[in-house]
A and B are shown apart, each in its own frame.
Chain A
Amino acid sequence: EAGVTQFPSHSVIEKGQTVTLRCDPISGHDNLYWYRRVMGKEIKFLLHFVKESKQDESGMPNNRFLAERTGGTYSTLKVQPAELEDSGVYFCASSQIAGVPADTQYFGPGTRLTVL
C-alpha cells in the first residue's frame, strides 16, 4: 500500500513569491493534517481536514497560508506571498478513522521549503 506522498520534495523560492505544496494521503484516509518544522524548533501542527472540511485550523500562522482539500482526496497548501520565516519542512500526515483522535497518523516525507 502506498504511503503518504508529498510534492515537491524541495522548493527554493524568493521572498514574495508563491509556492504550492501538495499532499496525497493514504487511500481511504479521511483525516489529513499539515505540520511544519522550522529549523531549531519542534514540529508544529498547522491544520486538520476531515474529508474536505477543515476540522481545526488553529495552527495556521497567518492569512498568507491557504489550505484546500477539494473532493476530500489530495490537499494543497499555498503560501502567498512567502516570507523568510516560512522556511522549514512541511509535513503532511493522514489517519484513517474519523472520530478517533489516537488513530495512528502516518507522515509523508515532507517538503523542504527555503525562502531566500
Chain B
Amino acid sequence: RKEVEQDPGPFNVPEGATVAFNCTYSNSASQSFFWYRQDCRKEPKLLMSVYSSGNEDGRFTAQLNRASQYISLLIRDSKLSDSATYLCVSIPRGSGAGSYQLTFGKGTKLSVIP
C-alpha cells in the first residue's frame, strides 16, 4: 500500500466552480502534512501546510482528519491559473532520527476550463 494515496483525476471543472481533492495516508505516526502544487514540467511549490484545526488561505481550505488519516483541499471560485497537479505530502515520523523526508502522493490533476 502506498504511503500517500490520491485520486489522479483529471478533474475538469469550469471557471468559478468549487472542487475538492482528497488524500489518505497510511502511516498513523505522520506528523506534518502539506499540499504542493506542480505545474507541467516545473518543480513542486508549497501551496499550504495542513493543520488539524483546518486552515484557509484565500480561496483554498485544507483539512486534516487524523482519526480517518485523511487530508482534503478545497478550492473555491476556481481560476484558469489553478490548473496544475496538486500533490499531497506528508513527513512520516519514524523514517529516521532527524529525517525530514517528504513523502509524496502521485498527484491529482486539475484542469479549469473557461
Q: Which residues of A are at the interface with B, using a C-beta cutoff of 8 A? A: 31, 33, 35, 41-45, 48, 50, 55-56, 58-59, 91, 93, 95, 99, 101-110
Contacts and interface: CB of A to CB of B under 8 A. Distances in A.
A59 to B, nearest CB: 7
Contact of A58 (B2, B4, B46, B101): B101
B54 interface: no
A95 B100 CA distance: 10
Interface of B: 2, 4, 31-32, 42-46, 49, 87, 91, 95-96, 98-107
B89 to A, nearest CB: 9
A107 B105 contact: no
Say whether chain B's binding surface is mostly helix, strand, loop, or mixed. loop
A48 B101 contact: yes
B96 A35 contact: no
A33 B32 contact: no
A109 B44 CA distance: 8
Contact of B103 (A41, A45, A91): A45
28 contacts: A31-B100, A33-B100, A33-B101, A41-B106, A42-B2, A42-B4, A42-B104, A43-B87, A45-B102, A48-B100, A55-B99, A56-B96, A56-B98, A58-B95, A58-B99, A59-B101, A91-B43, A93-B102, A95-B100, A99-B98, A102-B31, A102-B32, A102-B91, A104-B46, A105-B100, A106-B46, A107-B45, A108-B43
